[in-house]
Amino acid sequence: MNDRQRFIYVVLLWTSVFLAGCKEISQTKEANMEPSITKTDFGKTKDGQNVDLYTLTNINGLVVKITNYGGIVTELWTPDRNGKLDDIVLGFDNLKDYEEKSPYFGCIVGRYGNRIAKGKFTLDGKEYTLAVNNGENHLHGGLKGFDKVVWDAESIQSAESVGLKLHYLSKDMEEGYPGNLDVTVTYTLTNKDELQIAYEASTDKPTICNLTNHNYYNLAGQGVRDNYENQLMINADYFTPVDEGLIPTGELRSVKDTPMDFTRPTAIGARIDSDDTQLKYGGGYDHNWVLNKKAGEMGLAAKVYDPETGRVMEIHTTEPGVQFYSGNFLDGTLVGKEGKVYKHRYAFCLETQHYPDSPNKPDFPSTVLRPGQIYKTTTVHKFSTK
Ligand code: BGC
């Protein structure tokens, strides 16, 4: 070996030692990489209750922020097709705005998601009167629904996921509902890029229960544009038409040959302003779709794709219906996170649930919960890109 050869030999030897070291470090790092959950202060409610903000991060870098005020998802960061993370839900960056002006951004909705006509229903021969907060109707649990209460929170962590378990005891006759309702909602962010929401409840008197989540999504990113380009597929051949007050008539109507047909992926904006009575009543889409699957069984509810960013969200649920609301009441008066102005139809909601006004519609799947029974539903949002 001459000097030059010896020099090359030494350089190669050191390079291979260096590379082997790097590999080991990166393997160790991967083996150690676990999802995480951290807690920070999110301020005090007007009546002095402390509220926290939990940040859940999975091993792929997806981030979900949830506050125990209303169980609200305040941020949800997912990658676009180039790996760039964006926050894809509307919301506020402070508790005060949530308390004062939120149109149910990201919250847990309860005790009853969506409307109950005139705030009245009869159960076992007794008529109950609920708080009325939407014209003459009851909406999303009343004046102080589950979106406006402080939940007990507990972090959950495993190698595959991180979660936040929220608990709330809704007292007998709260907002007019009978029975003490013990509710647990668990948000779980998995390493498979899924946000799961599991709802459980039990009661000590016959009551009604219909829980959901009210995330306002835009797969292009929050506050950047309207939802028109997002392509939506809803796994439903029927929907529940409504009257002018957005109360279902009781009919299950075929979506065929109507702007309600989302059986094939269709841009939300493609038919939203069509001359259609149902769209006029809703000011756009604000209806419940009857999912093509058995209630209680996990199955596909909807899939959304944004061609610009490549983001895909697929929703599976055990619920029999999904309320697709196209953000028609957003009008540019709300200023949200990062100073973004939330204009008309800047987001959409897909609220998996039982049908609106079920307590007054004997032919709809029942929302009655009795002592001894456990209310149990699950919805999974799977994020990917294409
Ligand atoms: C309802 C809409 C309502 C929105 C926000 C949706 O679930 O169907 O009518 O405006 O929630 O409150």
pLDDT, one tens digit per residue, over 162-199 is 999 999 999 999 999 999 999 999 999 999 999 999 99
Q: Whose CA is nearest to atom 12 of ligand 1?
A: 103
Atom 10 in ligand 1: which residue has the minimum CA distance? 329
**Residue 316 identity (one-letter amino acid):** H
| Cβ 14 under 6 angstroms from ligand 1 | no
Q: Ligand 1 in contact with 107 (CB < 6 A)?
A: no
Which long-range contacts link 64-67 to residues 24+ away (Cβ below 8 Å)? 64/187, 64/189, 64/195, 66/164, 66/187, 67/42, 67/95, 67/98
For residues 127 and 31, what is the distance between their CA atoms, to the nearest angstrom? 59
Nearest CA-CA partner of 151 in 276, 36, 67: 67
Query: Hey, which of 101, 107, 108, 140 would you mutate to test ligand 1's pocket, going by the most ligand atoms within 8 Å of its Cβ?
Result: 140
Which residues participate in catalysis according to the annotation? 214, 351
* DSSP H/E element including 260: none
User: Can you give the C-alpha Rg of the chain in angstroms?
Assistant: 24
Looking at ligand 1, which atom is closest to the CA of residue 286?
Answer: 8
The whole model's pTM is what?
0.92
Q: Residue 269 carries which DSSP code?
A: G
Relative to beta strand 286-291, strand 236-240 is antiparallel
Whether the CB of 87 sits within 6 Å of ligand 1: no
pLDDT in tens, 288-346: 999 999 889 999 999 999 999 999 999 999 999 999 999 999 999 999 999 999 999 99
Length of the chain equals: 386
Question: Distance between CA atoms of 59 and 192, rounded to whole angstroms?
Answer: 9
Which three-class secondary structure string do you get for 111-138? CECCEEHHHEEEECCEEEECCCCECCEE
Atom of ligand 1 nearest to the CA of 246: 9
SS3 at position 359 = helix
Cα 197 to ligand 1 centre (Å): 20
User: Is the minimum distance from the CB of 329 to ligand 1 under 6 angstroms?
Assistant: yes
Q: What amino acid is encoded at 19 in this protein?
A: L
SS3 of 325, please? strand
Pair of tokens at residue 367: 């929302």
Q: Residue 61 and residue 109: Cα distance in Å, rounded?
A: 28
Tell me the sheet residues that pair with 329.
none
Q: Is 64 in the pocket of ligand 1 (CB under 6 A)?
A: no
User: In angstroms, rounded to a whole number, what is the distance separating the alpha carbons of residues 272 and 327?
Assistant: 11
**C-alpha 27 chain-centroid distance:** 35
The amino acid sitting at 356 is P
Cβ of 103 less than 6 Å from ligand 1: yes
Residue 83's CB is within 10 A of a number of other CB atoms, namely: 9
For residue 28, the model assigns a pLDDT of: 38
Give the Cα separation of 105 and 75 in Å (integer).
10
CA 282 to ligand 1: nearest atom: 9
Q: pLDDT tens per residue, the chain (386 residues)?
A: 566 666 555 555 565 555 544 444 443 344 348 999 999 999 999 999 999 999 999 999 999 999 999 999 999 999 999 999 999 999 999 999 999 999 999 999 999 999 999 999 999 999 999 999 999 999 999 999 999 999 999 999 999 999 999 999 999 999 999 999 999 999 999 999 999 999 999 999 999 999 999 999 999 999 999 999 999 999 999 999 999 999 999 999 999 999 999 999 999 999 999 999 999 999 999 999 999 998 899 999 999 999 999 999 999 999 999 999 999 999 999 999 999 999 999 999 999 999 999 999 999 999 999 999 999 999 999 999 99
| Rounded Cα gap, residues 85 and 69, in angstroms | 25
Pocket test for ligand 1, best of 114, 247, 328, 346 (most atoms within 8 A of CB): 114
Give the per-residue pLDDT at 7.
Answer: 56
Tokens standing for residue 361: 């519609």
Task: Identify each DSSP E strand in 216-285 by its residue range.
Answer: 231-234, 236-240, 253-254, 266-267
Model pLDDT, residue 22: 44
CB of 351 sitting under 6 A from ligand 1: yes
In sequence order, the β-bridge partners of residue 73 are 66
Yes or no: say if 92 and 105 are a contact pair by the CB < 8 Å rule: yes
Report d(CA 165, CA 137) in Å as an integer.
Answer: 31
Distance from Cα 248 to the centre of ligand 1, integer Å:
14
User: Which of 187, 192, 126 is CA-nearest to residue 162?
Assistant: 187
Pocket flag, ligand 1, residue 325 (CB < 6 Å) = yes
Q: How far apart are CA 183 and CA 181, in angstroms?
A: 6
Report H helices in the chain: 3-32, 95-101, 277-282
Residue 299: how many CB atoms within 10 A of its CB?
A: 16
- Find all residues with CB under 8 Å of 146, minimum gap 6, and list them: 70, 71, 107, 108, 109, 110, 111, 168, 170, 183, 211
> Measured in angstroms, how far is the CA atom of residue 120 from the centroid of ligand 1?
19
Q: Name the β-bridge partners of 342.
A: 334
From residue 203, give the alpha-carbon distance in Å to each of 66, 206, 219, 318: 26, 7, 37, 21
Nearest atom of ligand 1 to the alpha carbon of 351: 7
